[in-house]
Amino acid sequence: MLAKRIVPCLDVKDGKVVKGVQFRNHEIVGDIVPLAARYAREGADELVFYDITASAHERVVDKSWVSRVAEQLDIPFCVAGGIKTIAQARELLAFGADKISINSPALTDPTLISRLQDEFGRQCIVIGIDSFYDQASDSYKVKQFTGDEAATRDTQWYTQDWVEEVQRRGCGEIVLNVMNQDGVRGGYDIQQLSLVRAICDVPLIASGGAGTMAHFRDVFLQAGVDAALAASVFHKGIIDIGELKAYLKGQGVAIRHSRPE
Amino acid sequence: MQDPRSSAKAMAAKGETGGTVIIDTGCANLSSVRFAFERLGAAVTVTDEPGLIKAATRVVLPGVGSAGAAMAALEAKGLVELIQGLTQPVLGVCLGMQLLSLLSKERGGRSEDCRCLGLIPTRIEPLADKGLPLPHMGWNQIVPTAHPLFAGIAPGSYVYFVHSYRAPISAFTLASSEYGETFSAAIGKDNFMGVQFHPEKSAAVGAQILANFLTMGAESSTSAQADQAAKEAKS
């Protein structure tokens, strides 16, 4: 049976992990490779690296760390952040990234999705969507440039419309980041994720809001997502991946155990 | 990143041959496959030079993307007949597995099915997903047969898949998996083997499968070369 995936997300800047990561016994800060390997050993099914290095004035950002990760890591990983062109995508995939994730540049130019799909196949094209509940219109809408608070802006897109549009253009997977819940650790937005699940024919990854192990159970069993992404609960050592997977298995969620029984 | 091809050129220059060769199909998972073998301590060569491929102890055919584009790349490099004539163990990975079949229904905008290498008599068709999300992406369980490629791999082991087309269950199935339907997670005939999943991304289980492959070929390759030498001696 296809297992539900647990996906830790790491913020990377100038080739280093930005925030410290607290494992059970000690904290590892900085080097990407040992951190990534540690998560893989603990049972992470996949990793996302969000590169927040600013590329002001089209400065070329050094992505060679991707190759160092690929050399060591024996689980799939995705690189997100600042990918605007076919050439940038090609470089990351050649370095060994399994997937690339596009967010704001796809909103600026939706044809980027189809062009990436034509070039590399849909299996490696992930679309990140930052969605929020707009009280005024009682609907879900998409925000752009959320990486920079000053630049963040609303778009014309209703979330469901954009989810359908990116699938039409050939993405292979969608990460739905629900902003109202992000960082609060009050749980995934089950209602919104269920709505999107119903119109999403590609794998769907939930993002934003994970605080407890029960939140993971709920998002898998109630919203039917394929994977759950989280950052702070793993980095701060609030949830241990091994314990989480044992718990989910006990709750009837299909989960990969590292060792066959 | 060091260009893997430079080591192949160095080998060629020194006249060294043998070992494990990954065919340079120019595809995106080339580095990942090489890294996985290197983590096992294996010396691997990435090359599209016919002489080095023929002389290899064992050969890996990687691939991601569409069947049509990959076959076109092999044709452009003049490697189709060469691969068809290989007698040492050959392992196709993901799309590389599909290329070993007779044909693929993945047309990729073309009007006809894609003719493949014809080494394993099975056909690649769309996964009957029964409404499940596609691509079939993530960790799924396999049930292996007693084939040496799966030595030590328990039924129910998880490996990482990313695909929308599949080989059906047939006499050539080496391992099966299930997603909407039961399909071939691995196929094989004679010295040709292919895995639909990505062993290079399948943690310890994948590493075991690649390690199994690394034990193959030392003898059969020698005997094949001996046969060849015998034929040449006769003629």
Residue A163 pLDDT exceeds 70: yes
Span of A112-116, A178-182, A197-201, B42-46 with lowest mean pLDDT? A178-182
B157 touches chain A (CB under 8 A): yes
Residue B229 pLDDT exceeds 70: no
User: What per-residue string of b and e applies to B161-186 under the rule 16 or more CB within 10 Å gives b?
Assistant: bbbbbbbbeeebbbbbbebeeebbbb
B54 to chain A, minimum CA–CA distance in Å?
A: 26
- The reported pLDDT for the residue numbered A153 is 86
B170 to chain A, minimum CA–CA distance in Å?
A: 20
* pLDDT band, residue A236 (cuts 50/70/90): confident
ipTM for this prediction? 0.91
**Domains of chain A by range and CATH?**
5-250 (3.20.20.70)
**Residues of chain B found within 8 Å of residue A261, distances taken between Cβ atoms:** 154, 156
Q: Tokens for B131, please give them.
A: 């409404």
Find the mean pLDDT for residues A23-30.
61
A122 touches chain B (CB under 8 A): yes
**Residues of chain A found within 8 Å of residue B41, distances taken between Cβ atoms:** none
B105 to chain A, minimum CA–CA distance in Å?
A: 16
Highest mean predicted confidence (pLDDT) among A205-209, A257-261, B22-26: A205-209
**Residues of chain B found within 8 Å of residue A200, distances taken between Cβ atoms:** 133
B234 to chain A, minimum CA–CA distance in Å?
A: 47
* pLDDT band, residue A29 (cuts 50/70/90): low
B127 to chain A, minimum CA–CA distance in Å?
A: 14
Interface test with A, best of B162, B198, B202, B210 (most A CBs within 10 A): B162
Of all residues in chain A, the one with the smallest CA distance to B142 is: A1
Find the mean pLDDT for residues A198-216.
96
Highest mean predicted confidence (pLDDT) among A66-70, A115-119, A185-189, A257-261: A66-70
* pLDDT band, residue B107 (cuts 50/70/90): confident
**Residues of chain A found within 8 Å of residue B133, distances taken between Cβ atoms:** 200-204, 226
Cα–Cα distance for residue pair B216/B209, rounded to 1 Å:
11
A2, B200: Cβ pair inside 8 Å? no
Find the mean pLDDT for residues A152-164.
94
Closest to A47 (Cα-Cα) out of A227, A203, A167, A252: A227
Interface test with A, best of B44, B137, B200 (most A CBs within 10 A): B137
Find the mean pLDDT for residues A206-231.
96
- The reported pLDDT for the residue numbered B17 is 58
Q: Where are the domains of chain B?
A: 4-234
* pLDDT band, residue B11 (cuts 50/70/90): very low
Residue A182 pLDDT exceeds 50: yes
- The reported pLDDT for the residue numbered B3 is 46
Q: What is the CATH number of domain B4-234?
A: 3.40.50.880
A122, B156: Cβ pair inside 8 Å? no
B1, A121: Cβ pair inside 8 Å? no
Which of A94, A121, A227 has its CB closest to that of B66? Answer: A121
Interface test with A, best of B106, B139, B143 (most A CBs within 10 A): B139
> B124 versus B218: which is more confidently predicted?
B124
B158, A202: Cβ pair inside 8 Å? no
pLDDT per position as a tens digit, B171-187:
999 999 999 999 999 99
Residue A23 pLDDT exceeds 90: no
CB pairs under 8 A between A and B: 109
The number of helices, as runs of H, and strands, as runs of E, in chain B is 8, 13
> A17 versus B40: which is more confidently predicted?
B40
**Residues of chain B found within 8 Å of residue A3, distances taken between Cβ atoms:** 138-140, 158
- The reported pLDDT for the residue numbered B210 is 98
A104 to chain B, minimum CA–CA distance in Å?
A: 24
Cα–Cα distance for residue pair B158/B139, rounded to 1 Å:
6
- The reported pLDDT for the residue numbered A118 is 85
B158, A173: Cβ pair inside 8 Å? no
A15 touches chain B (CB under 8 A): no
Find the mean pLDDT for residues A86-114.
93
Q: Tokens for B212, please give them.
A: 């199994």
Name the DSSP class of A175: E
Which of A5, A76, A93 has its CB closest to that of B28? Answer: A93
Cα–Cα distance for residue pair B172/B184, rounded to 1 Å:
9
Find the mean pLDDT for residues B215-230.
58
> Mean pLDDT score of chain B, rounded to an integer?
87
Residue numbers of B annotated as active site: 94, 198, 200
Cα–Cα distance for residue pair A175/A5, rounded to 1 Å:
13
A100 touches chain B (CB under 8 A): no
Give the list of residues 6+ apart from residue B27 with CB closer than 8 angstroms, or none.
B62, B63, B64, B65, B70, B73, B95
CA pseudo-torsion sign A98, A103, A108, A113: positive
